[in-house]
Each structure stands twice: as structure tokens, then as C-alpha cells.
Amino acid sequence: MEVAISRFKRCDMVKVIGRINSQTAPQLAETFKGILDEERHRIVFDMSEVDFISSAGLRVLIDVQKTCKRWNRGEVALARVPQRIHETLDLAGFVPLFRLFDSTVEAVGSL
């Protein structure tokens, strides 16, 4: 799994390439923790090149969303979610918990 971070004035964008599973989820959690430790709570997660996400990856997403939304500071927006990953999020009941966008430009503009 490869992780890339882009910083913008209003938010940060995290892009993952590859699989998010029990071995790679801790790396993703550390990436998000680094952003949150800098008091930046508006995050766009570009999932366009995510091939697979396990329950460990879903747990990371929920933890980060809860931290961002605490005290109404920000949120995590999901951008360019592949159909297969969207089905996984829907099956887990996570779709109502996140705002989903078809492009990263829309997602960054919304935060």
C-alpha cells in the first residue's frame, strides 16, 4: 500500500494506492494520526485506487471520522470511491456516516 498526502489551505487529502487490510491499516491509521496531531481535522480521502478494504480499514475510517467530528471541528469526506468499495461501505452501514464525492475537487471544495 502506498500513501500520499497533499496539503491544501482548507484541508488535507490522503490518497491510497493498493489494499487496506490488517497489515496495512496501522500504516493508514498513523498517517491520519499525523494529520490530526497537527490539529487539522478536515480530510479528503481519495479512494480511487483502493483495491480492497478490510474490517481493519473500515475501523480506521470510523475512528478518524469520530475524532474529526468531535466538538464539531471537521470531518472526513470520501472521494472517488470505486463501486466495489462503495458496496462494502454500504453493506457495513457506513455510507450515511460519510459524505461521498465523485471528484476530489468537489470534496476539497466542500470542506
Q: For 2-110, which CATH superfamily applies?
A: STAS domain (3.30.750.24)
Do the Cβ atoms of 87 and 53 come closer than 8 Å? Answer: no
Local confidence pLDDT in tens for the 111 residues of the chain: 999 999 999 899 999 999 999 999 999 999 999 999 999 999 999 999 999 999 999 999 999 999 999 888 899 999 999 999 999 999 999 999 999 999 999 999 988
Domain segments of the chain as ranges: 2-110
